[in-house]
Amino acid sequence: MQEYLTPLSLFIILYSFPGTGGQSPCPDPEAIIPCVCSHNETLATVTVDCSEATSSEEIFSAFNDADWPILNLTSFWLERNDRVEQLPEGVFGDVTFQEIEVSRTSVESIDPEALLPSKDRLERLDINNSKLKEFPFEIIAQFSILTYLSLGANELTSLSSFQSSSLETLGVAGNQLTFFGNMSLPNLRSFLMSFSSHLNLHLRKNEIAVVNEESFRPILEVISNVTGNIDLTDNPVVCNCTMAWIVLNPAFLTKVTGSCTDGTDFQDLDPIDFQNCVDRIP
Ligand SMILES: *[C@@H]1O[C@H](CO)[C@@H](O)[C@H](O)[C@H]1NC(C)=O
Ligand SMILES: *[C@@H]1O[C@H](CO)[C@@H](O)[C@H](O)[C@H]1NC(C)=O
Ligand SMILES: *[C@@H]1O[C@H](CO)[C@@H](O)[C@H](O)[C@H]1NC(C)=O
Ligand SMILES: *[C@@H]1O[C@H](CO)[C@@H](O)[C@H](O)[C@H]1NC(C)=O
Ligand SMILES: *[C@@H]1O[C@H](CO)[C@@H](O)[C@H](O)[C@H]1NC(C)=O
Ligand SMILES: *[C@@H]1O[C@H](CO)[C@@H](O)[C@H](O)[C@H]1NC(C)=O
């Protein structure tokens, strides 16, 4: 059969994919099974879907052992998969993405070195309804154009200190968060204001009892000048003096959604009741 591949037929094969320099952006489909690479010419997107993978090794092999004609792809998908438990170091080889979506999976951990190759290209990272126990928040600062980070409905217990100058939406609803680190968003406010954008922080259904000033003030200072809110619905928030800094500041109070353990909606808290919290401080 080899002799049928004359120079003319090779020419036709190589030049039959317009717009990609004569090359399909996807590897030989056989070489990446069970992953599937699809090129949408209308949208100019290249998506790799590894939802049929039965192990991390299969995903690793698809990216590391196949020949990828183009390394800067659009999306990676892993959905409804109960076999893959981790995305290890180097899992995507030299391939980078604008968007990574992991949903309804058994993924428990993600190595920082799985994500870092995409640090200059990743705009959207959504890992939801999975089993994540930890997330490498410390690397987020390096993701220069990441605007959307959603880690909803996982098993995270802490949101460690991190910073980002690009993030607009952070979703961590439906975890078991009890620890909330300092979020340093030094450039976020000018970014947000100059684009009159919004910031939403989804903290629903966690275990936050104290809305401590050290962690939340920087975020509320940003949000108070733009659209957006902090959603604390379904958290065991204790409305004692630790809430005074919010209740006594109308600009902050309107940006916080949720209620106290005694059922009082935050919006119905009376500043007068909290006045003596500050009076007590010498
Ligand atoms: C490409 O995307 C467009 C817009 O979403 C869609 O209508 C079309 O069916 C897609 N083409 C392929 C080959 O999937
Ligand atoms: C991918 O990289 C090539 C070469 O650097 C560049 O021409 C192309 O615009 C990039 N595509 C995307 C989607 O970033
Ligand atoms: C979970 O992720 C999928 C894929 O990114 C997305 O379509 C869906 O809206 C997400 N669900 C939630 C509840 O965020
Ligand atoms: C948060 O910042 C304060 C003040 O800079 C510091 O004292 C505290 O240790 C930080 N907390 C965490 C969890 O990093
Ligand atoms: C928010 O706006 C107020 C008044 O418009 C201003 O004094 C304050 O510095 C702004 N805060 C931030 C964080 O930009
Ligand atoms: C407020 O309640 C929290 C949670 O129960 C507790 O840790 C904290 O000590 C209380 N603070 C004050 C000032 O009462």
Please tell me the number of the ligand nearest to residue 221's CA.
5
CA angle 146, 95, 109 (to 5 degrees): 65
Q: What is the CATH number of the domain that holds 168?
A: 3.80.10.10
Full 3-state SS string of the chain: CHHHCCHHHHHHHHCCCCCCCCCCCCCCHHHHCCCEEEEECCCCEEEEECCCCCCHHHHHHHHHCCCCCCCECCEEEEEEECCCCEECCCCCCCCECCEEEEEEECCCEECHHHHHHHCCCCCEEEEECCCCCCCCHHHHHHCCCCCEEECCCCCCCEECCEECCCCCEEECCCCCCCEECCEECCCHHHHHHHCCCECEEECCCCCCCCCCHHHHHHHHHHHCCCECCEECCCCCECCCHHHHHHHCCHHHHCCEECEECCCCEHHHCCHHHHHHHHHCCC
Distance from C-alpha of 62 to C-alpha of 27, rounded to nearest angstrom = 9
**What distance in angstroms lies between residue 45's CA and the mean position of ligand 1's atoms?**
10
Ligand at shortest distance from the CA of 74: 2
Q: What spacing in Å lies between the alpha carbon of 223 and ligand 5's midpoint?
A: 10
Residues 59 and 170 in one domain: no
Specify if 264 maps to a domain.
Answer: yes
CA of 36 to the centre of ligand 3 (A): 20
Let me know if residue 143 belongs to a domain. no
44 within ligand 1 shell (Cβ under 6 A):
no
**Domain assignment present for 107:** yes
**Does one domain contain both 27 and 98?**
yes
User: Is there a single domain that holds both residue 174 and residue 276?
Assistant: yes
Please tell me whether residues 255 and 168 are part of one structural domain: yes
The response to whether residue 126 sits with its C-beta less than 6 Å from ligand 3 reads: yes
281 and 174 in one domain? yes
pLDDT of residue 256: 95
Residue 87, φ and ψ in degrees, nearest 5: -115, 95
Tell which one of 24, 37, 39, 40 to mutate to probe ligand 1, the residue whose CB is within 8 A of the most ligand atoms.
40
Mark which of 113, 143, 175 sits at the end of a domain. Answer: 113
| Residue 127 counted as domain residue | no
Domain boundary among 113, 148, 175: 113
Residue 223, in any domain of the structure: yes
> Do residue 17 and residue 109 come from a single domain?
yes
Please give the number of the atom of ligand 1 that sits closest to the Cα of 39. Answer: 13
Residues 277, 161 share a domain = yes
Residues 165 and 278 in one domain: yes
Q: Give 268-280 pLDDT, tens digit per residue.
A: 999 999 999 987 6
Of the residues 179, 235, 240, which should be mutated to test ligand 6's pocket, given the most ligand atoms within 8 Å of the CB? 240
Q: What's the predicted TM-score (pTM) here?
A: 0.77
CA 230/CA 152 separation, integer angstroms: 15
- Please give the pLDDT value at position 192: 40
pLDDT of residue 11: 43
Range of 225's domain?
156-282
Q: Are residues 179 and 96 in the same domain?
A: no
pLDDT at 238: 95
Residue 100 domain-assigned (yes or no): yes
Question: What pLDDT score was predicted for residue 188?
Answer: 47
Residue 187 domain-assigned? yes
Please tell me the residue having the least CA distance from ligand 5 atom 1. Answer: 225
Asked whether residue 167 falls in the same domain as residue 245, the answer is yes
Of 238, 237, 241, whose CA–CA distance to 273 is shortest?
A: 241
Average pLDDT per 10 consecutive residues for the chain, totaling 282 residues: 45 42 84 97 97 98 97 98 98 98 98 98 97 95 93 89 83 81 55 48 84 83 78 93 96 95 97 88 55
- Structural domains counted in the chain: 2
> Is there an atom of ligand 1 within 6 Å of 42 CB?
yes
108 alpha carbon – ligand 3 mean position (Å): 17
Angle in degrees, CA 61, 65, 106, rounded to 5: 15
